[in-house]
């Protein structure tokens, strides 16, 4: 019997329960993974609350990322063998599969082999963040060397991945944080500049850093009314990409009469992970970074699987720098 995290109704972390379930053998196109570590994502909190872009079906598992080893291989699956170290990528709906458990079934198309020297905790902290950053900054070739990239809520795992991805392509990452306590950590992570939005004027600082030009790209997971201020920081012809909804209030479309011309749109990692060709390019880009050391997953803290509700509570406090990882004892 596997230990799987499920919930029966939307709600707070207290709805999460660790249950014993027979996950069975993998079907055609599936793998069964012995999970050693799970990467937590904000999307899973929203899904648990019933505020995600698709509703849960109950009882529901959850989770997009995990690392471990192949335990069983289903029919029509090639390229994997029992015992292979692997990572699970966010390519599926949580109504179909989930990674919160010690043994889980996942589609083979969502799995990549992990470098043998990469610890499971690190492997579980790589893919959501770095594929998101890759899709935002690399895949469309619109971000160029020397471009300034403004990264809001930069202390999260995607923010840190975006800082390092911008560095890799020769762009200039500008990180924002609400309090000065995270400034040095963001500079250590590779940010060329850090703007403390609780103490500094965002628009003025961006104009100063960019010598009046503005940021060529803005990556924002917050949304809400704050996008108006971000739009003011975009250079003419630049891009504002909103890839999250930490602020549940309505998000306005920037007023064309108030700002220079810019492109603004929503963005999700599934634009990359549900397109096989794009996903292959993203995986190659991230794997190259793992090989050279340019991809360095940052783990803020770890929790045991039995403490999954506490792990969600910790994420809700928004105090972490990097990834929250859940470890799974065997």
Global pTM?
0.95
111 and 169 inside one domain: no
Here the tokens at position 104 are: 């889980």
* pLDDT at 245 (0 to 100): 86
Here the tokens at position 14 are: 């207290």
Question: Tens digit of pLDDT for each residue in 46-77?
Answer: 999 999 999 999 999 999 999 999 999 999 99
Tokens 């995990």 appear where? 66
36 located within any domain: yes
Count of domains forming the chain: 2
284 located within any domain: no
* Domain span at 113: 2-126+298-327
220 and 303 inside one domain: no
116 and 242 inside one domain: no
Last residue in a domain, options 270, 286, 316? 270
* pLDDT at 247 (0 to 100): 87
Cβ atoms of 303 and 18 within 8 Å: the answer is no
Per-residue pLDDT 10s for the chain (330 aa) are: 999 999 999 999 999 999 999 999 999 999 999 999 999 999 999 999 999 999 999 999 999 999 999 999 999 999 999 999 999 999 999 999 999 999 999 999 999 999 989 999 999 999 999 999 999 999 999 999 999 999 999 999 999 999 999 999 999 999 999 989 999 999 999 999 999 999 999 999 999 999 999 999 999 999 999 988 898 899 988 999 999 888 889 888 776 555 567 788 899 999 999 999 999 999 999 999 999 999 999 999 999 999 999 999 999 998 899 999 999 999
280 located within any domain: no
* pLDDT at 242 (0 to 100): 94
* pLDDT at 263 (0 to 100): 86
44 located within any domain: yes
- For residue 57, the domain's CATH number is 3.90.180.10
288 located within any domain: no
- For residue 145, the domain's CATH number is 3.40.50.720
233 located within any domain: yes
117 and 189 inside one domain: no
Q: How many residues in total does the chain contain?
A: 330
* pLDDT at 248 (0 to 100): 85
- Measuring CA to CA, which residue among 95, 110, 106, 104 is closest to residue 19? 104
46 and 98 inside one domain: yes
* pLDDT at 82 (0 to 100): 98
Question: Tens digit of pLDDT for each residue in 182-204?
Answer: 999 999 999 999 999 999 999 99
310 located within any domain: yes
Give the N- to C-terminal CA distance of the chain in Å, as an integer: 13
117 and 169 inside one domain: no
122 and 153 inside one domain: no
163 and 246 inside one domain: yes
* pLDDT at 252 (0 to 100): 84
305 located within any domain: yes
- Measuring CA to CA, which residue among 210, 212, 269, 215 is closest to residue 240? 215
115 and 164 inside one domain: no
18 and 100 inside one domain: yes
* pLDDT at 139 (0 to 100): 96
56 and 140 inside one domain: no
Here the tokens at position 188 are: 């250590």
Last residue in a domain, options 270, 288, 308? 270
Residues 6+ apart with CB under 8 A from 194: 154, 174, 175, 176, 177, 182, 183, 186, 187
Burial level of 325, CB count in 10 A (0-12/13-18/19+)?
Answer: buried
119 and 147 inside one domain: no
């Amino acid at each position: 019997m596997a230990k799987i995290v499920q919930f029966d109704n939307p709600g707070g972390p207290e709805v999460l329960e660790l249950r014993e379930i027979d996950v069975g053998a993998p079907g055609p196109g599936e793998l069964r993974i012995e999970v050693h570590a799970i990467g937590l994502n904000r999307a899973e909190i929203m899904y648990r609350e019933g505020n995600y872009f698709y509703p849960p079906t109950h009882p529901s598992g959850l989770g997009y990322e995990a690392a471990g080893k192949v335990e069983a291989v289903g029919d029509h699956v090639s390229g994997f063998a029992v015992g292979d170290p692997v990572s699970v990528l966010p390519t599926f709906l949580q109504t179909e599969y989930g990674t919160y458990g010690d043994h889980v079934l996942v589609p083979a198309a969502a799995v990549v082999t992990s470098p043998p020297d990469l610890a499971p905790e690190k492997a579980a902290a790589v893919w959501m963040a770095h594929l998101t950053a890759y899709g935002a900054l690399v895949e469309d070739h619109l971000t160029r060397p020397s471009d300034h990239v403004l990264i809001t809520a930069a202390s999260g795992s995607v923010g840190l991945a975006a800082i390092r991805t911008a560095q890799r392509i020769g762009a200039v990452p500008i990180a924002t944080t609400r309090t000065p306590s995270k400034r040095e950590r963001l500079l250590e992570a590779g940010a060329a500049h850090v703007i403390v939005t609780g103490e500094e004027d965002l628009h003025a600082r961006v104009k100063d850093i960019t010598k009046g030009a503005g940021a060529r790209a803005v990556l924002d997971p917050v949304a809400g009314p704050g996008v108006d201020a971000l739009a003011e920081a975009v250079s003419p012809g630049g891009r504002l990409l909103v890839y999250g909804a930490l602020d549940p209030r309505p998000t306005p479309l920037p007023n064309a009469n108030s700002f220079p011309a810019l492109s603004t749109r929503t963005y999700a990692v599934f634009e990359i992970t549900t397109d096989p060709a794009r996903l292959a390019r993203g995986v190659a880009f991230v794997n190259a970074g793992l090989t050279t050391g340019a991809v360095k997953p940052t783990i803020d803290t770890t929790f045991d699987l039995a403490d999954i509700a506490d792990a969600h509570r910790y994420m809700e406090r928004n105090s972490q720098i990097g990834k929250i990882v859940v470890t799974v004892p065997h």
